[in-house]
Amino acid sequence: MDLNSVDAVTIATAVRGRQVSAVEVVTATLNRIDKKDRELNCFTTVTRETALADAAKIDEAIASGKDPGVLAGVPFAVKNLFDIAGITTLAGSKINAENSPATQDATAVAKLKQAGAILVGALNMDEYAYGFVTENSHYGATHNPHDINRIAGGSSGGAAAAVAGGMVPLTLGSDTNGSIRVPAALCGVYGLKPTYGRLSRAGAFLFASSLDHVGTFTRSVRDAATAFDVLQGWDSRDPVCTPREALRVTSLQNDGNGASAHNIDGLRIAIADDYFCTGAEPEALAAVERVAQALGTTQYVTIPEAHRAKAAAFVITASEGANLHLANLRSRLEDFDPATCDRFLAGAMIPAAWYLQAQRFRSWFRDRVREIFQHVDVIIAPTTPCFAPLIGQQTIELDGKEVLVRAHLGLFTQPLSFIGLPVLSVPVVSPNTLPLGVQLIAAPYCEDKILQVAAFLEGKGVVAASIVD
């Protein structure tokens, strides 16, 4: 079994069936990390000893006839803003490195462990999750596995690149304005941002509380569904976490020939036009067209005032983020990443009236989009407006205009996370090019619909993770 490219479900099935031991899987994973991470710089911490010990416990459970869990023996890693017991939670910063080690795992980490998955480390990110590039002045830039001269995206860049680089099949990230979907698209893997509040954020160092989501990076749709199922459930430690019936992943399994057993009969699917059809490279729009053709959809919908939604999301993000770090901005300004510092300072000076107006607009925008989902089940749109820029690149040209990289990679993701919609970025198969992604968007708590569409596209060979050996 080539552990560098198979998905998590395949690994767990093999471990439970004793075709391979969990210790063998984890040992191979750690060796792979030793080899690949020197080039990619995904990991800030590797939990070698505890990973091997946990793997041995999984093997012991299987030998004694106990249920090891649905993710038995699956190696996973997490963005370094998730608490890991015994390790200091960096959140990509120099300042947090001075904190005491976490006393318990984040809820999301604990749930994956309870399902038999084995934590192998923590992953690089933009400082305090404020960015789309993962070019961190403290811990270095994470490189895109498809072209090491290019960014992996951010802020969960280490999480996306670790999956695309064949080091682990499953990682945890966070998404405020696109921090899961952007790196997923640029690295060619699946990136799921569930509905706001669907997964617990307890034990995660938040950025902008009214916008932050927890989600996953995976190599397959069934991995995304399986991990989502494991991670769900009400958590008293996170007041925004809402109890909902868990998605049953069995409906998303493939048949014996590898084709999706699901279909999209009855689903109303539309293409986002207007704002989502401009300001992008032709290849990004072509990826959307390819997905639309595979789905047989020609219907278009307009999400009104999306450009204002992006602007309002920027105001809320900057305000909430700056408020969180206000004490350190006053006393330790020089210890911030220069690329983050200026934006936090700007956020601290945003008038309260602007923030309140942005929140009022947010309510209006949510109602307008809710009306659209009365007539449509799933909307498709580009994830990013372009391929991965070069590391250090400051500007890109979009629609004939030179614009800033950091401000525009979230062009198509920011208006959607603004109102907490569930979105899956799927990697579109495009031979001889860098990866691109397409967003599948649904109404709140309708993750099953976007996963259903993704499973159909995967079965048709239109989308697939691009793993670099």
Catalytic residues: 79, 155, 179
Residue 366, φ and ψ in degrees, nearest 5: -60, -40
SS3 27: helix
State CA 163 to chain mean position distance: 11
Count Cβ neighbours within 10 Å for each residue of 311-329 and write b for 16 or more, e otherwise. bbbbbbbbbbbbbbbeebb
Cα–Cα distance, 64 to 309 (Å, whole number)? 55
Euclidean distance between CA atoms 274 and 306, whole angstroms: 9
Three-state DSSP class for residue 45: strand
The CA distances from residue 371 to 96, 307, 359, 417, in Å, are 43, 18, 19, 17
Q: Distance of alpha carbon 432 from its chain centroid, rounded?
A: 24
Q: Which residues contact 28 (CB under 8 A, 6 or more apart)?
A: 3
Contact criterion met (CB below 8 Å) for 450 and 424: yes
φ and ψ at residue 323, rounded to 5 degrees: -60, -40
For residues 59 and 23, the answer to whether their CB atoms sit within 8 Å is: yes
Could you tell me which residues come within 8 angstroms of residue 112 by beta carbon, excluding any fewer than 6 positions away? 71, 76, 119, 170, 172, 227, 230, 231
Tell me the C-alpha distance between 410 and 402, whole Å: 16
- For 264, phi then psi, to 5°, come to -115, 20
Contacts of 368 (CB under 8 A, 6+ apart): 303, 304, 305
| Rounded distance between C-alpha atoms, residue 449 and residue 440, angstroms | 9
Q: Residues 156, 79: contact at Cβ < 8 Å?
A: yes
